Structure 1
Amino acid sequence: MHKRYKGIAWWGWAAAAVLYVGAAFAAVEFAWNRAIDALADVGAHRLDLYASSLTSELGRFEMVPALVARQDSVRALLNAPPNEKAGLLPAVNTYLEAVNRDVGSGAVDVIDAHGTVIAASNWNQPVSFVGTNVSYRPYFQDALARGRGRFFGIGTNTGVPGLYFANVVPEGGVAGDMAAGRPLGAVAVKVSVDALEVAWRTPAEAALVVDGNGVIVISTEPAWKFSAMRAITAQQQRGIQASRQYAGRVVEVLPYRRVGDWNGAAWFGLFPDPHRAGRTARYLVMSRPAPQGGDTIMVLLDTAGARRQQRIAFGFVTGMFLIAVLYALYALQRRRTIQEKLTAQEALRRANDQLETTVVQRTAALTDANERMQREIAERERTEQRLRATQQEVVHAGKLAVIGQMAAGLTHELNQPLVAIRTLCDNARTFFERNQPAQANANLERVGRLVDSMAVLTAELKAFARKPEVERVAVSLAEALAHARLIYDARIRDEAVRLAVRIPPGTTVYAESSQLQQVIVNLLGNALDAVRDAPARVITIEASEPDSRGIVRFTVDDSGPGIAPKVLAHLFEPFVTTKPRGQGLGLGLAITSRIIEGFGAKISAANRDEGGARFTIEFAAAEPQRTEHGR
């Protein structure tokens, strides 16, 4: 029994595969041949075009040396004794400059019989050819030997490549006629080929002119210029170096490989890809002799387009084959579908019933999951609310803890005015009894001032203890520090601590006033604890000007022993403290950190190189707020 796949015998599939391979091969080969024939036609047209442009572009310069050599002033300059040449030079130089400008050449030179340029169109330029000896140049040698010369090379003075035409200036007769007498010198014109290279530049093509040595002298691909299309013999290398044709360069062979012939006029080659380093591109190469001299014009046509035509043909055949196969399979499948239709309908009905049951079950499960999620969301929101309330309570508790620690200092600050008030009141009563109202009024005024100072202190304490409504506003750093400092003035004075404050006037930051005071109180209290047993008790509080990012750096430095490295890494975590057991819970800096984060600021701690610790807060700078004060 024959094996079958998709209802077709194996020999049917084998025949289809053979048919497909044959059709694909024939289509690809036909597309390649047709594309290359079209490419060869384009190449032949390009060669005709480049040959015509060489003839028109360079041919108009070929007669310039002969015309210049006919000028009596040029002949007179070459024939004049050395002591008379200086008088003839200005006229000749001016004439050569005008000729060069009119014809659009690179330079026009007059060369004496010894090969020295005695007059040039660029006589007044920074780089002038006057005084240059070109006796080693083939165009000069050919002009003296055969009447005219033609040579491509790189200028030894300028380093600019160009084509040189030269004509002999005989003692008498017509320029270029060697029978007219001994040669007095020669006239040479240099022509730039840059315009040709620009005009010939075409996408997916490369145009070259190869000289008699096999060296590329004109190229639309700059990287290939002055490379050789064939190996240069040692004798040719010596000749090139002697004539300085390529300005002393050692000519290297272009790394290409010939990979086959198309017809008698074209061949295929792999050349370095000028657009992808380290890669090669396949070109159809066509060539023909150049109109002038022994040069060769070459055009290289990229075969990528022909490859694309092959892929298109292959894709077309493959697509048609797939369509045919799909149609055959469709016909077989349609017949099978008709046969299995009733069974499929029954299976579909059962599947629908099962799907409806599954949908009901999944819908119930999703409803339950959604209800659970809603409950979890509500519970999470309640938890977040409780957490925010707890955080506010912790901050407030931290304030009350600080107030408890400040109770002793505040008691001292309040006792002194109270004793003074009692004494002043007793004295005032005595003055009234003695009928001395002036002294009694003076004592009462002093009592009023003492009461006002006590009211300021208690107001600061009350404002510090109040739970704030957190709102970021512009707060003056100097004012916040002044309010916080009132709480520790007695301790600073009693413990002989030197407090240095350097805050630029008008420095404001985004914060909440009472919470910023709590932060400064915590940091100042920690600094006072740190310097309690230090030999020098110094605390420095500074604020910087806003930087380019609008950041104000507020620092609190102390001269204490610093912070242990193992504690420094966890300093702002709850219950981490450097104080002895029983003197702190380790919540002050944790609360301070949370408050500062609420401002959108950052706090950090580090040990100073000179000893002690430094706490740095980076605030966002704010513009001072203008407020109206009323009664």
Structure 2
Amino acid sequence: MRSNVRMKIRGIPLWAWAAAAALYVGVAVAAVGFAGSRAIDALAEVGAHRLDLLAASLKSELGRFEMMPAIVARQDSVRALLAAGSRASPDLVREVDTYLEAVSNEAGSLAVDVIDLQGNVIAASNWNQSFSFVGTNVSYRPYFKDALAHGSGRFFGIGTNTGMPGLYFASAVRDAGKPIGAAAVKLSVDALEAAWRAPGEAALVIDGNGVIVISTVPDWKFTALQPITAQRQRDIQSSRQYAGRTVDVLPYRRVGENKDDGHGTAWLGRFPDWRRPGHTARFLVMSRPAPQAGDSVMVLLDTAGARHQQELAFAFVTGAFLIAGLYALYAAQRRRTIAEKLKAQDALRRANDQLEITVAQRTAALTAANERMQQEIVERKRTEQRLRDTQQEVVHAGKLAVLGQMAAGLTHELNQPLVAIRTLCDNARTFFERDQPAQAVANLERVARLVDGMAGLTGELKAFARKPDVERMAVSLCEAVAHARLIYEARIRDERVQLDARIPAGSTVWAESSQLQQVIVNLLGNALDAVHNEERRIITIAAADPDARERVLFTIADSGPGIAPDVLAHLFEPFVTTKPRGQGLGLGLAITSRIVEGFGAKISAANRADGGAQFTIEFAAATSQRLVHGR
């Protein structure tokens, strides 16, 4: 009897209790781990989309100012001031100061400067303010050195005069091909930081030194995520990048390994909690390279939600095992009661009792089977509901990704026409000042055409979904090509691209003028992207005279790496692109194909035998006979 007591507790064997405890521990650990892993994976998806939006907004914000120094450098009065040096008249200095002030106010920058070869600021947009940069020497600044050495420079630092942090863009001012000075633009990132702030997360930009230069947590700015060597500290001090500050390391601790999904890295770490001073919190850290070389974008997401999911999983498993344990105790107690009653019955009723027990057992089995069936039905409904919820989340995530890509793509498409408009407006003003209204009016007409082209860009996505009605007419190929060259004039010059256009005089085709210009702009932009990283940068635009079928073959060829065979077969399909993620929508060639088909023309692409890609459009020639027939 004692042995039986020692081997059982409340009628259940000890080995059963031990097995139940081991099963409970194993299931609890697995459930907590699974819930945590799923929650972190979901948080990582949110972080990836957040990084897409941060990178797109950073590229859009900084892209507005990147071309400003080059535009200022082309101003005649700026070149005249640098050429004159100390002999410059006060009127010329005042003219340049006023021009820089107007440019800075219109663009919303902190300052616009003109710097001579010795690094002295000789004109500035804040010339009439108490903290004017005029007379300041910036020869030690890397952006000035890079502009003279390479034509352009970029640098993030704290102003030595104002103590205000900002991003500097610089461009060399040239005369007869030689640099005679530089133009620089300083912009603030305060508005960008304010737009990035979101509850429960921190957004950062880390420069090439590993120092946080943009942060939604003010206390973290100008701290490093890794120790700075003594030599690097001396280099930073010599350039006064952080206005003489010693860069300290942000105190944090990694609690997980790096994971790289091809679009960035993710890891877990404990960081100071800016919401509760003196405390730390665990965050999911995700980062990827920024659109500007050498920088990276990082986002910290609070993992409190993942911990809550783990707690819920643990509570669910514990509750389920408690219910199962109570049910086991109840079943054991009930069995003992039945056994005692059976022993008290006499022999005459044993048969009847045995029959009742059998009926009860079969009834219990049927009831248990029915309960299991009902549980399976409920579980299946829950699984179907979870599947529908997951599908909705996937669709929503896809929409967010496409929205981020569309924002980046439209910014890229509008940037070049804006630069051309700015240049033409400056030139028109110069022509009016020189009493040359005819040239000024011609520039303004080009501006109007560029504005019409930009308005057409916003209608391209609608054109992709619905084929518009196109009124075809005779359009000059020479004018369409000239329009495209004007839009990419600065890029062709800066990237030293050899553009060879061989269009016979008087070549006309059946098309719509603005849409034909958009087609050539898209194809020329793709060709410039293709030769960007090549040693030989050659683009050839050609058109042949009408053949016997009165067709004109128009081609654009480049010296790039060509098109992969698996991409070539689907090149004109929507969302097919060879560009890195975040740099293209995959809609450009699909829209171009629809526009060309609207002309009654045909477009094709192929790889050339000597390297590079070639796009060919077969137009209908606009001959005099066709014009008469069309009327």
TM-score normalised by length of structure 2:
0.51
Distance (whole Å) between structure 1 residues aligned to residue 85 and residue 133 of structure 2 = 21
2:134 match: secondary structure: coil
Q: Percent same amino acid among aligned pairs? A: 71
Shift of 1:244: 0.6
Report the equivalent of 1:203: 199
2:313 pairs with 1:313: yes
Tell me, yes or no, if the aligned pair for 1:150 and 1:293 is still in contact at 8 Å: no
Tell me, yes or no, if the aligned pair for 1:286 and 1:299 is still in contact at 8 Å: yes
Residues 334-353 of structure 1: pairs in structure 2 closer than 5 A = none
2:246 match: secondary structure: coil
Amino acid corresponding to residue 160 of structure 1 in structure 2: M
2:257 match: secondary structure: strand
Distance (whole Å) between structure 2 residues aligned to residue 219 and residue 246 of structure 1 = 15
Q: Give the 3 Å change call, closer, same or farther, for CA 340–121 of structure 1 in structure 2.
A: farther
Shift of 1:85: 3.5
2:153 match: secondary structure: strand
Distance (whole Å) between structure 1 residues aligned to residue 305 and residue 226 of structure 2 = 28
Report the equivalent of 1:377: none
2:235 match: secondary structure: helix
Residue 243 (structure 2) aligned to one of 241, 247, 256 = 247
Shift of 1:193: 0.9
Report the equivalent of 2:231: 235
Q: Give the 3 Å change call, closer, same or farther, for CA 262–14 of structure 1 in structure 2.
A: farther
Distance (whole Å) between structure 2 residues aligned to residue 98 and residue 295 of structure 1 = 31
Report the equivalent of 1:301: 301
Shift of 1:111: 1.1
Distance (whole Å) between structure 2 residues aligned to residue 63 and residue 124 of structure 1 = 25
Q: Give the 3 Å change call, closer, same or farther, for CA 262–119 of structure 1 in structure 2.
A: closer
2:97 pairs with 1:101: no
Q: Deviations over 1:380-422 (max 9, x none)?
A: xxxxxxxxxxxxxxxxxxxxxxxxxxxxxxxxxxxxxxxxxxx
Report the equivalent of 1:193: 189
2:272 pairs with 1:276: no
Query: What's the RMSD between the two structures over aligned residues?
Result: 2.1
Distance (whole Å) between structure 1 residues aligned to residue 338 and residue 134 of structure 2 = 99
Amino acid corresponding to residue 88 of structure 1 in structure 2: L
Q: Give the 3 Å change call, closer, same or farther, for CA 96–10 of structure 1 in structure 2.
A: same
Shift of 1:110: 1.1
Distance (whole Å) between structure 2 residues aligned to residue 339 and residue 125 of structure 1 = 101
Tell me, yes or no, if the aligned pair for 1:96 and 1:108 is still in contact at 8 Å: yes
2:223 match: secondary structure: coil
Shift of 1:83: 3.8
Distance (whole Å) between structure 2 residues aligned to residue 104 and residue 337 of structure 1 = 87
Structure 2 runs not aligned, ≥5 long: 342-631
Shift of 1:328: 3.0
Residue 88 (structure 2) aligned to one of 72, 84, 94 = 84
2:50 match: secondary structure: helix
Shift of 1:334: 6.3
Residue 175 (structure 2) aligned to one of 143, 152, 171 = 171
Distance (whole Å) between structure 2 residues aligned to residue 151 and residue 293 of structure 1 = 11
Residue 184 (structure 1) aligned to one of 156, 166, 180 = 180
Shift of 1:73: 1.1
Shift of 1:279: 2.6
2:183 match: secondary structure: strand
Q: Give the 3 Å change call, closer, same or farther, for CA 340–159 of structure 1 in structure 2.
A: farther
Q: Deviations over 1:233-258 (max 9, x none)?
A: 11111111011100110001111222
Distance (whole Å) between structure 1 residues aligned to residue 284 and residue 97 of structure 2 = 48
Distance (whole Å) between structure 1 residues aligned to residue 230 and residue 269 of structure 2 = 26
Distance (whole Å) between structure 1 residues aligned to residue 107 and residue 209 of structure 2 = 29
2:89 match: secondary structure: helix
Distance (whole Å) between structure 1 residues aligned to residue 325 and residue 132 of structure 2 = 78
1:164 match: secondary structure: strand
Residues 477-556 of structure 1: pairs in structure 2 closer than 5 A = none
Q: Give the 3 Å change call, closer, same or farther, for CA 340–162 of structure 1 in structure 2.
A: farther
Q: Give the 3 Å change call, closer, same or farther, for CA 53–323 of structure 1 in structure 2.
A: same
Amino acid corresponding to residue 161 of structure 1 in structure 2: P
Residues 64-463 of structure 1: pairs in structure 2 closer than 5 A = 64-172=68-176, 180-181=177-178, 183-261=179-257, 263-264=259-260, 265-332=265-332
Structure 1 runs not aligned, ≥5 long: 173-179, 342-631
Residues 17-96 of structure 1: pairs in structure 2 closer than 5 A = 17-96=21-100
The count of aligned residue pairs is 333
Distance (whole Å) between structure 1 residues aligned to residue 21 and residue 193 of structure 2 = 51
1:319 match: secondary structure: helix
Amino acid corresponding to residue 308 of structure 1 in structure 2: H
Distance (whole Å) between structure 2 residues aligned to residue 81 and residue 118 of structure 1 = 9
Distance (whole Å) between structure 1 residues aligned to residue 340 and residue 90 of structure 2 = 112
Shift of 1:262: 5.2
Report the equivalent of 2:610: none
2:210 match: secondary structure: coil
Shift of 1:327: 2.8
Report the equivalent of 1:477: none
Shift of 1:26: 0.9
Distance (whole Å) between structure 2 residues aligned to residue 210 and residue 239 of structure 1 = 17
Tell me, yes or no, if the aligned pair for 1:31 and 1:310 is still in contact at 8 Å: yes
Q: Deviations over 1:430-481 (max 9, x none)?
A: xxxxxxxxxxxxxxxxxxxxxxxxxxxxxxxxxxxxxxxxxxxxxxxxxxxx
Q: Higher Cα Rg: structure 1 or 2?
A: 1
Distance (whole Å) between structure 2 residues aligned to residue 260 and residue 254 of structure 1 = 18
1:185 match: secondary structure: strand
Distance (whole Å) between structure 2 residues aligned to residue 153 and residue 339 of structure 1 = 87
Q: Higher relative CO (CA 8 A, sep ≥ 6), structure 1 or 2?
A: 2
Tell me, yes or no, if the aligned pair for 1:155 and 1:247 is still in contact at 8 Å: yes
Q: Give the 3 Å change call, closer, same or farther, for CA 137–262 of structure 1 in structure 2.
A: closer
Residues 583-594 of structure 1: pairs in structure 2 closer than 5 A = none
Distance (whole Å) between structure 2 residues aligned to residue 8 and residue 65 of structure 1 = 84
Distance (whole Å) between structure 2 residues aligned to residue 220 and residue 271 of structure 1 = 14
Shift of 1:290: 1.1
